[in-house]
Amino acid sequence: MSNFQLHCTSFCINCGFQGHISNDCKLAIISLGLIIFRLNKNGEKEYLMIRRKSSFGFSDFLHSRFPIHNTIILNNIINEMTDSEKSIILQRIENIQSSQDDALGKRVKQYIENKVDLKQLIKNSVTSWTECEWGFPKGRRNAREKDFDCAIREFEEETGYKQTNIQLIENVVPYEEVFVGSNYKTYKHKYYIARANYVLTEDETLFQKSEVSKLQWKSYDECLLCIRPYNIEKKKMLFNVNKCITHFKLK
């Protein structure tokens, strides 16, 4: 296959365009999802939020590819972890000889073998989170998947609800949250806005147990309280979404 043919057939699962693969994509790391609201029995507006099963910091610790001796990034991701996640890592360090040969065990051993004082870094952590991050259902696209199709698929997978339970707000453009993560990579979360049927979304136990630890409908103020203080972009985006829903006629 010629370079021209390869260029024409290559598809980027990050941005959704042809001509390159995701490893060569120059854009931010893109996730697609839905911000969904409904009116409860009292006529009060609620937003659908999900809580991650593992914090971003813990996930980055297991899977991110950054230099093993880069303690700046390591400090950042440790500070994103919950107290229980830090304790799990400390337990693995104390029992390194009998540590399981899973992803976490291998990662801990890698730091110890490279003389990184992981135990001290965790003890020096300046944060104390009791739960993982709250956010809105979203995820990365599959090959040749359109933006909206990806958002719907991730919504259905993570929440257990169906597309027929919601109605897309068609006269509102998607909202975007762009930020630099603790690993110094740029991320963009793009959200479509939808309204949910209250009766069809009362059950809060249908969520994907492997990725999500809790699903809850929250008031606007409750949403702001559960979003971590440093997630300024998410708070600003929700402020704008709530303003739009409150003051404009939606179709």
Q: What is the CATH number of the domain that holds 146?
A: 3.90.79.10
Residues 183 and 222 in one domain: yes
Query: Three-class SS of residue 84?
Result: helix
Which position has the higher pLDDT, 215 or 67? 215
Would residue 104 count as lying in a domain? yes
Q: Which of 95, 123, 151 is a domain's end point?
A: 123
Would residue 93 count as lying in a domain? yes
What's the pLDDT tens digit per position in 168-195? Answer: 999 999 999 999 999 899 999 999 999 9
Residues 234 and 160 in one domain: yes
Residues 144 and 210 in one domain: yes
Would residue 59 count as lying in a domain? no
Q: Could you tell me what percent of the chain has a pLDDT over 70?
A: 95
Measured CA to CA, the distance from residue 192 to residue 184 in angstroms comes to 26
Average of pLDDT values for 192-209?
A: 98
Give the closest residue to 148 by CA, choosing from 190, 99, 203, 119: 190
Least confident interval from 9-18, 54-63, 78-87: 9-18
For the CA atoms of 148, 160, 134, 149, the dihedral, rounded to the nearest 10 degrees, stands at -10
Average of pLDDT values for 99-127?
A: 90
Residues 86 and 146 in one domain: no
Would residue 58 count as lying in a domain? no
Specify the number of domains making up the chain: 2
- Note if the pTM is more than 0.85: yes
pLDDT value of residue 43? 94
Q: Residue 159 phi/psi, 5° resolution? A: -100, -25
Would residue 225 count as lying in a domain? yes
Residues 136 and 117 in one domain: no
Residues 108 and 10 in one domain: no
DSSP-derived secondary structure letter, 210 = T
Residues 151 and 211 in one domain: yes
State the residue range of the domain holding 103: 67-123
Residues 148 and 221 in one domain: yes
Say if residues 62 and 221 touch (Cβ distance below 8 Å).
no
Q: Which of 123, 141, 171 is a domain's end point?
A: 123
Residues 137 and 168 in one domain: yes
Residue 2: which pLDDT band, with cuts at 50, 70 and 90?
very low
Q: Which of 123, 143, 159 is a domain's end point?
A: 123
Burial of 217 (0-12, 13-18, 19+ CB in 10 A): buried
Return the bridge partners of 164, or none. none
Residues 35 and 143 in one domain: yes
Would residue 62 count as lying in a domain? no
What's the pLDDT tens digit per position in 75-105? Answer: 999 999 999 999 999 999 988 876 667 889 8
Query: Three-class SS of residue 217?
Result: strand
Residues 137 and 110 in one domain: no
Residues 6+ apart with CB under 8 A from 144: 11
Measured CA to CA, the distance from residue 28 to residue 184 in angstroms comes to 11
